[in-house]
Copies of this chain bind each other. A is one copy, B any other.
Amino acid sequence: MAGNTTPEGRPDLAAMIVPLGRALVAAELPVLREHGLAMWAYSVLLRLDDEPVRTQAALARDIGADKTRIIGVLDGLEERGLIRRQSDPADRRARVLSLTPAGRRMRDAVQSAIQQREEQLLARLPEEDRRGFLNALQALATLSPSEITGD
Contact = CB atoms under 8 A, between A and B. Distances in A.
A116 B136 CA distance: 18
Interface residues of A, number: 63
Contacts of A121: 13, 140, 148, 150
Nearest to A43: B15
A142 B125 CA distance: 13
A11 to B, nearest CB: 7
A128 B10 CA distance: 17
A64 to B, nearest CB: 7
A17 B20 contact: yes
A115 B148 contact: no
Q: Count copies of this chain in the complex.
A: 2
7 contacts: A4-B46, A10-B138, A13-B24, A14-B24, A26-B148, A128-B128, A130-B132
Report, nearest first, the 7 A-B pairs whose CB atoms are least far apart.
A132-B132, A133-B136, A16-B141, A23-B148, A14-B24, A3-B50, A18-B21
Interface of A: 1-4, 6, 8, 10-28, 43, 46-47, 49-51, 64, 111-112, 114-115, 117-118, 120-121, 124-126, 128-143, 145, 148-150
